[in-house]
Amino acid sequence: MIRALPAAAALGAALLLLTGCASSASAGGEAAATKYSDLAQGATCSALREQHPEYVGKNLTNAINPHTPGYESVNADDPSVYEGFDIDLGEAMGACLGFTVDYVPVAFAELIPTMASGQADFVISDIYATEERAANADFITYSKVFDGLLVAKGNPKRLTGIDTSLCGTTVALNKGFVEVPLVEGLAADCEKEGKEAPTVSLFDGNADCVQAILAGRADTYVNDVNTVNRFVKEHPDDLEKATAVTLDYKIGIAVPQGQTGFRDAMEAALVAVQDSGLQQQLAADWDLDENAVEAPTVLSTTD
pLDDT tens string 217-226: 999 999 989 8
User: For the segment 86-101, what is each residue's pLDDT rounded down to a tens digit?
Assistant: 999 999 999 999 999 9
Reply yes or no on whether the pLDDT at 57 is more than 70. Answer: yes
Rounded Cα distance, 211 and 232, in Å: 12
Q: Which domains does the chain have, with CATH numbers?
A: 7-144+249-299 (3.40.190.10), 146-248 (3.40.190.10)
Give the DSSP per-residue string, 217-263: S-SEEEEEHHHHHHHHHHSTTTEEEEEEEEEEEEEEEEE-TT-HHHH
> CA dist 63 to 6, 117, 127, 256, Å?
16, 11, 11, 12
Rounded Cα distance, 23 and 103, in Å: 4
Reply yes or no on whether the pLDDT at 291 is more than 70. Answer: no
User: For the segment 72-131, what is each residue's pLDDT rounded down to a tens digit?
Assistant: 999 999 999 999 999 999 999 999 999 999 999 999 999 999 999 999 999 999 999 999
Decide: helix, strand or coil at residue 264.
helix
| DSSP assignment letter at 301 | S
Rounded Cα distance, 53 and 285, in Å: 31
Q: Alpha-carbon Rg of the chain, whole angstroms?
A: 20
Confidence band for 144, pLDDT divided at 50, 70 and 90: confident
Mean pLDDT of the chain, nearest integer: 89
Confidence band for 44, pLDDT divided at 50, 70 and 90: very high
Provide φ and ψ at 186, rounded to 5°.
-80, -10
> How many Cβ atoms are within 10 Å of 276's Cβ, its own excluded?
18
> How many Cβ atoms are within 10 Å of 74's Cβ, its own excluded?
17
User: For the segment 20-38, what is each residue's pLDDT rounded down to a tens digit?
Assistant: 344 555 555 667 778 999 9
Amino acid making up residue 161: G
Do the beta carbons of residue 227 and residue 205 sit within 8 Å? no
Decide: helix, strand or coil at residue 117.
coil
Reported residue count of the chain is: 303
> How many Cβ atoms are within 10 Å of 202's Cβ, its own excluded?
15
